[in-house]
């Protein structure tokens, strides 16, 4: 999903460079926020999976 957002963001930036800068900056910041939110959610899920994996490995070693 973040790749789609990033691609859309780049396409918009390249397709409409002549529009008013403030308008473009607002759109870009919105796209960046959206991409960051998706990235953050994915990282949290990854981190939880990693913690679960590490936890099982450690308990296996300790036991």
Domain segments of the chain: what residues? 2-62
Q: Which pLDDT belongs to residue 9?
A: 65
- Positions of the chain with pLDDT lower than 50, given as ranges: 63
Return the SS3 of 1: coil
Do the beta carbons of residue 28 and residue 13 sit within 8 Å? yes
Q: Which pLDDT belongs to residue 11?
A: 61
Q: Which pLDDT belongs to residue 63?
A: 44
């Amino acid at each position: 999903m973040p790749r789609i957002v990033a691609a859309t963001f780049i396409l918009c930036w390249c397709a409409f460079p002549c529009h008013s800068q403030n308008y473009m900056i607002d759109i870009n910041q919105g796209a960046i926020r959206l991409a960051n939110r998706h990235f953050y959610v994915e990282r949290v899920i990854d981190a939880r999976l990693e913690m679960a994996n590490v936890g099982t490995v450690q308990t296996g070693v300790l036991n």
